[in-house]
Amino acid sequence: MLKVLLLGSTGLLGRAVKAEFEKYDLESPSRSELDVTDFASLESYFSDNSFDFVINCTGYNAVDDAEKPENHEEVFLHNEKVPEMLAKLCEAHNCTLVQFSSDYVFDGENADGYSEDASYDPINVYGQSKMAGEVAVAENCSKYFVIRMSWLFGPGFNCCK
């Protein structure tokens, strides 16, 4: 049976992914069990366990707050450095990484839509950080999926928080 590590399983996306993947051999540690920004803990978690797939549903997704200079370090930590670390660990441990990105990597001005390999053109810090995460995954991992999404909604969605 496929062994899957799901990160961010308490979030909007993570809860939905967890419901789909519970039929597999699924590990879904909470933030208090495995903080993805603690790279030493991540490394030892990968050394102690083996997975076929790692699905990263963590990320900094407060688009407006991401613009504030005092938040930039945290934005890039979550959206670039964490995916980069996961990509390196997946490469070292022969597993496939699933990373979620955003339509914000483009400026949205192309009326014909975008192909997968269209040139990046982010217009805000959030988009720049998601772009940096995509690039870091592609550069550090040979088996990966990057899934670009727009606005998520579903159970637990709070439009006004």
Ligand X SMILES: NC(=O)c1ccc[n+]([C@@H]2O[C@H](COP(=O)([O-])OP(=O)(O)OC[C@H]3O[C@@H](n4cnc5c(N)ncnc54)[C@H](OP(=O)(O)O)[C@@H]3O)[C@@H](O)[C@H]2O)c1
Interface with ligand X includes 35 (CB under 6 A)? yes
Question: In 3D, which of 94, 81, 66, 75 has the Cα closest to residue 133?
Answer: 81
Interface with ligand X includes 59 (CB under 6 A)? yes
Whether the Cβ atoms of residue 57 and residue 14 lie closer than 8 Å to each other: yes
Bridge partners (DSSP) of residue 48 are none
Interface with ligand X includes 57 (CB under 6 A)? yes
The two three-digit tokens of residue 10, written as one number: 């308490």
Q: Which is nearer to ligand X, 62 or 92 (CB)?
A: 62
* DSSP letter, residue 120: P
Least distance in Å: CB of 3 to ligand X? 19
Least distance in Å: CB of 11 to ligand X? 2
The Cα angle at residue 138 between residues 137 and 144, in degrees rounded to 5? 75
Could you say which of 42, 46, 53, 102 contacts ligand X (CB under 6 A)?
A: 102
Least distance in Å: CB of 101 to ligand X? 7
144 is catalytic: no
Least distance in Å: CB of 156 to ligand X? 8
Interface with ligand X includes 47 (CB under 6 A)? no
Q: Which stretch binds ligand X (CB under 6 A): 57-65, 90-98, 107-115, 134-142?
A: 57-65
Which residue out of 45, 104, 126, 144 is catalytically annotated?
126
The two three-digit tokens of residue 137, written as one number: 């995954």
Alpha carbon separation from 70 to 66, 81, 121, 122 (Å, rounded): 9, 17, 23, 20
* Spatial separation of the C-alpha atoms in residues 94 and 50, rounded to whole Å: 9
User: Where does this chain bind ligand X (CB under 6 A)?
Assistant: 7-14, 31, 35-37, 57-59, 61, 100, 102, 149, 151-152
Q: Give the active site residues.
A: 126
